[in-house]
Structure 1
Amino acid sequence: MSLPPGFLDELRARTSLAQVVGRKVMWDARKSNQGKGDMWAPCPFHQEKTASFHVDDRKGYYYCFGCHEKGDAISFVQETENVGFMEAIEILAQEAGMQMPARDPKAQEKADRRTELSRVMEEAVKFYRLQLQTGAGAAARAYLLERRGLSPDAIARWEIGFAPEGWQNLWDHLAAKGIAPDLILGCGLAKPSDKGRQPYDTFRNRIIFPIRDGRGRATGFGGRAMDPNDNAKYLNSPETELFDKGRSLFNQGPAREAAGKGQPLVVAEGYMDVIALSEAGFGATVAPLGTAITEDQLRLLWRIHDEPIVALDGDTAGLRAAMRLIDVALPLLEAGKSLRFCLLPEGQDPDELLKAKGPEAMQALLDAAQPMVALLWQRETEGKVLDSPERRAALDKALRAVIRRIADPAIRAHYAEEIRHRRGELFGFGAQRRSGGSAWTPRRAARGRAPDAVPVAGTRASLLAGADEAQTLLLREAVILATLIRAPCLLEEFGHALEEMDFAGPGHAAVAALLLSCDPQDTQAGIEEKILAGLGPEALETLHAPRHVSLAPSVRKPGDTELARLCLTEEFAKLAALRGAVREIEEAVAGFAEAPEAWIDHRLSLSARAREMAGRNQDNDRADFDIAENGARIDRDERSDLDALLNAIGLDGPGGGTGRQE
């Protein structure tokens, strides 16, 4: 429907944004200035305690300095009421006393029919609620009051009803009120008979739960069978003009309101779980309608809360539902939009847990909810025996395939990095660096940080490896990454080695994580675009800054795959050898306190090996070394290191007057 010129301007002029927003927030009296229309409140779109949500009532715009949501009265109603553009205009126009422009005949006819269908649905709600109080509903009342522990007030609050046995109870009731048969069928309350008989009721001998949309309108019903032998324990309304099961959530409106007041959004499995949690104080609770959560339902959840907590039964079915949801969510992830998972004790649903241990136990489980990446890792690794290179390679391939499904390049890079760390912990790669100890790392050496006072068994960067070795580590890492960016077809072949690297260069780990999340069929331009989008231009600039990288043959000739393969093989081998020599140096440090003289000889031998692995020119090596009186080859730079070391422990250095003690 098109609106006449000036209609929206008139609507905005008649609408007070502060009044519209004021229905959803509590204004901060200290920061707000009502006289100037300058209002502040905690943001209704994300969870916060400070008032960072600003409304300029005179200009008619709002802006949150926390989550950066912005808009006018129309967009505010759209977001908070979960309605479309035209529905938001209708709501505001009604409040402002403005007549909506005439619709075209077909659109008006459709709107009128939806209004009639809504009226019929409310009549059905009344009928079912009344039936629960009759003799026919005695068994259903006993089930709700005694077995489920609901109070009469709770039953009334949730408008729970009962559909009695019989084929045409509701049909006859609505027909007696003069409601047309096509409206009853259009609401999904009855189904036409294929035997030429009168239509029959959809729900029979079932406890009835009304399903309402975000604006509180009854759109469908869920029914729980009283007969344990019924074909379906739970039955939902069929798809209608009002009801779309894959786009609806049970308790959507009240949950959105509770989430706006700071409660975490909990996603439970069924109607009774939602009711039990809400009655226990967890008002921001919703449930899908008997099926796995769809993309539309997930987007609806994220409109209510940035990080819903999915609380599932701790049985096999609950875990399967969680794993299916991960696959739905991965392509839709955005910055700040994710899921957390709360797995209940096996054999217990939220209602049973609340009855057994109370709300505190439920709150503790919600507080300990796991991020989605943890459940993803569990799914891919649990129960798998990874005792061979082939099985590990299969795991790597599966993980890369899963991560590639994430559309957002920045999130994909962070997931790849997290998976790389978890993989390293599983297989023991890089454990020393993540141990939190003080072992040497090239990153520290590259920054040139000198050690503190040298302890007897605690030598560090300048005594273990010089700046040359550290710089060589960084350059080899950069060449490997730059080569793979230009030859992504080799990612499958060298992905193993890339995942096991413990990066020292600035930003190298993030680039590697993003590379591992790329597809081998990606092009160089495509990968560079993903790096720019996910990590910013600085990542590529830093990677290619060293002249050695730009001069590498595999970088200068990006189309030569065989050259790239040879270069990568050589670079990985040299890097592994250099790091192996450095590790031996670190191990040798441990024996320094017991035998410092012998340690010096061993350290010099290892240092020479490390410098050789660093790829230094042989002639330069020869020029850089002198022959000491005792025959040991000592680098000139090492003289000062050894002097400092020996002086620290009370011995004269090799450059001193006495030399080494015999």
Structure 2
Amino acid sequence: MALTPQWLDELRARVTLSTVIGRTTKLTRAGREWKACCPFHNEKSPSFTVSDEKGFYHCFGCGAHGDAIRWMTDQRGLSFIDAVQELAAEAGLEVPRPDPRAAQAAEQRSGLHEVMQAAQDWFVANLQGAGGARARDYLKMRGIDAHTIERFGFGFAPPDRNAMKAALGQFDEALLVEAGLRIEAEQRENYDRFRDRLMLPIQDARGRVIAFGGRILDAEKKDAPKYLNSPDTPLFDKGRTLYNLHRASAASRQSGSVHVCEGYMDVIALAAAGIEDAVAPMGTAVTEQQIELLWRLADKPVLCFDGDAAGQRAAIRAATRALPLLRPGHSLQFATLPAGMDPDDLLRREGRAGLDKVLAAASSLLEVVWSHEQAALPLTGPEDKAGLKARLMAHVEAITQQDIAALYRREWLDRFSALAFPKREKAEWQPRPPQARGGKRQPFGKPAILPLLPGTAARLNRDGAARQDPLAAAVIAGLARHPDQVGRHMEALLRLAGADPVLAPLVDGLLHMGETGPGGAAMPALLDAGGAGPISGTGKILPPPGNASFSFLQEGTDPVSAREDLAEAVALLAERPALEAAIAAVTARFDIDPEGAFAEQQRLRKRKLAFDVRLGQMAKKRAVEAADDQVDTGAGQRSSPGAQETG
């Protein structure tokens, strides 16, 4: 379809903008223009203007601006092509169709639309006739009034197998089958798909009937599904369709939200209670395409599924499908209904106030996945806890947006650490020598209490147990300064303790500090044992020979940046023993497999080089930041009145 700028300008010229907008928004004449309260945000005084001469609307409150096409896409929720087609039909313009196959497909869809509308008219007439008495009684029992029946287009399909064929005899049998209204049988006569059911039309974003849903009325028919939807057709794709979207689109512009229920009766119950922005998937779990449709209406749709096991399974399926799609500002929320209740049940029992309470307590996507995985299996031992962590990290890997993935990882690891390593009663820690590991703890004696005063910084010196390993000294001191991060790096620290007996007692102290929290004598004793001691004065880091200053050892560093740099340093430190062991192992293989060993050695050396480069970059980053701070300080001094030279 080729829509030239000239053709689109002609379309805009033929459409009266105030007429289009006036169908859903009350306009008041204001001179040569029109005014109204803005339909895109809540306001009491009108700041929304419509100009037919200029061909655009504008809100001076929220900045909404556009022409007739933009109105149809933003306020009605239509796609660009659907908006153009609807306006063109109103203006008497033919939409260009240069592709013969596209024109043929459009003609076919046009014929199917006529069939579906004829079927809808027939269903509605049946409901009002003598044969629709049972269906009317059911609606009355559900408390659905005449206005709701008319608004949502309730109808009735009679039990006869060929009633529709007789009623819609003006259409070919093949067209009825293609529309999903009749079922084609190989060995016998075709028959109507919907029989003896309460019928509801399913409409597209433009309000055109594209499918039907039918609820069974005879509860004795155990072999028949309670709800039956149309099959996929050229008009209807259940995975890309949301029931009530055409009504909810306009309502969500006002409310700023959209609510997702399990079925159409739930949507109708919410609408009757005044929640007009409700939609429902077509009897399946929410799909990726439906999530994208929801995000066109609201940044954080609220999924309001039944409180039974099936409803909770649908909720977690929707959550896991949303993870790869997450982007800044867009997510899902989940309102958990009382067990065994759907929205209609809750409204009947507690009214609108009860439902509002449930919706207001909606949980975030992050919280829902965490709660589901935590409750999935008993957490009775270390293996179970490790399984929980593995499942959470698998969900993190599914998130393609890196910033969001990093934030989810941090939040879930913090929660996991609090769950797996709960804080115990605070006790004083004493470092023990390597030879004491495996036996009873051997205290060094009561260490001096050297509190870290404001303006104090850690000084890496030559006398600690980690003096020959600057990176290890920095990590030990960094974790001592940030004890809340110990649990996050538990696995790496345990591997480090197993690989290096010199560092083992320091790791032991860190783990103790992670359990009991900072403070008391533990921190200065650990800093001293790890090669770091507190000093006062300028607050500068004075590293031992060969070591560089890291952000997580500096006073005044942004906490988020410091923790991320600390995490990378821990990862490098934990990787190093395995990397060195791999290099030693491949070197020993040269006698039996020189070619393979050489190739593997080159790969490992490249990794070792990358390791060293990254470590240098971290140090350089801090050096640059320190230089910038010095320049800024100097500039501030030069600009101060007291720093001016006198002649």
TM-score range (shorter-chain normalised) is: 0.5 to 0.7
Amino acid at match of 1:466: T
2:528 matches 1:611: yes
Contact 2:252–2:277 under 8 Å retained in 1: yes
| 1:360-418 deviation line (CA, Å, top 9, x unaligned) | 10011101111111110111111533343322222211111111101111111221122
Larger CA deviation: 608-617 vs 295-304: 608-617
**Alignment correspondent of 1:108:** 103
**Alignment correspondent of 1:181:** 173
2:305 matches 1:315: no
Amino acid at match of 1:272: M
Amino acid at match of 1:427: A
Q: How many angstroms apart in 1 are the aligned matches of 2:88 and 2:461?
A: 68
**Alignment correspondent of 2:183:** 191
Q: How many angstroms apart in 1 are the aligned matches of 2:174 and 2:479?
A: 68
| 1:434-461 deviation line (CA, Å, top 9, x unaligned) | xxxxxxxxxxxxxxxxxxxxxxxxx996
**Alignment correspondent of 2:8:** 8
Deviation at 1:95, TM superposition (A): 4.8
Please, what is the CA RMSD of the aligned residues? 4.8
Deviation at 1:85, TM superposition (A): 3.6
Deviation at 1:110, TM superposition (A): 2.0
SS of residue matched to 2:107: helix
1:380-399 correspondence to structure 2 within 5 Å? 380-382=373-375, 384-399=377-392
2:215 matches 1:224: yes
Q: How many angstroms apart in 2 are the aligned matches of 1:269 and 1:35?
A: 47
Any unmatched runs of 5+ in structure 1?
Answer: 434-458, 484-496, 521-561, 589-602, 618-662
1:117-196 correspondence to structure 2 within 5 Å? 117-146=112-141, 148-175=142-169, 178-196=170-188
Q: How many angstroms apart in 1 are the aligned matches of 2:401 and 2:121?
A: 47
Q: How many angstroms apart in 1 are the aligned matches of 2:70 and 2:129?
A: 46
Larger CA deviation: 214-223 vs 297-306: 297-306
Contact 1:314–1:344 under 8 Å retained in 2: yes
- Of 184, 197, 200, the residue aligned with 1:206 is 197
Q: How many angstroms apart in 2 are the aligned matches of 1:139 and 1:120?
A: 26
- Of 263, 269, 276, the residue aligned with 1:276 is 269
Deviation at 1:244, TM superposition (A): 1.0
Deviation at 1:267, TM superposition (A): 0.8
Deviation at 1:87, TM superposition (A): 3.0
Q: 1:184 to 1:569 in 2, by over 3 A?
A: farther
Contact 1:424–1:430 under 8 Å retained in 2: no
| TM-score after normalising by structure 1 | 0.64
Q: How many angstroms apart in 1 are the aligned matches of 2:324 and 2:473?
A: 26
- Of 299, 305, 323, the residue aligned with 2:292 is 299
Q: 1:131 to 1:23 in 2, by over 3 A?
A: closer
Q: How many angstroms apart in 2 are the aligned matches of 1:113 and 1:481?
A: 74
SS of residue matched to 1:220: strand
1:534-545 correspondence to structure 2 within 5 Å? none
SS of residue matched to 1:231: coil
Amino acid at match of 1:225: I
**Alignment correspondent of 1:379:** 372
SS of residue matched to 2:248: helix
1:26-65 correspondence to structure 2 within 5 Å? 44=40
SS of residue matched to 1:139: helix
1:360-379 correspondence to structure 2 within 5 Å? 360-379=353-372
Q: 1:145 to 1:417 in 2, by over 3 A?
A: same
**Alignment correspondent of 2:404:** 411
Q: 1:73 to 1:135 in 2, by over 3 A?
A: closer
Deviation at 1:467, TM superposition (A): 1.6
SS of residue matched to 1:182: helix
Contact 2:37–2:43 under 8 Å retained in 1: no
| 1:242-281 deviation line (CA, Å, top 9, x unaligned) | 1111111111111111111116311111121111111011
Aligned residues: 500
Q: How many angstroms apart in 2 are the aligned matches of 1:572 and 1:61?
A: 72
| 1:305-364 deviation line (CA, Å, top 9, x unaligned) | 111111111111111111111111111111111111111111211111111111110011
Contact 1:43–1:64 under 8 Å retained in 2: no
Larger CA deviation: 254-263 vs 3-12: 3-12
Q: 1:151 to 1:416 in 2, by over 3 A?
A: same
SS of residue matched to 1:468: strand
| 1:136-176 deviation line (CA, Å, top 9, x unaligned) | 22222211112x1112222222111111111100111001x
Q: How many angstroms apart in 2 are the aligned matches of 1:41 and 1:471?
A: 70
| TM-score after normalising by structure 2 | 0.65
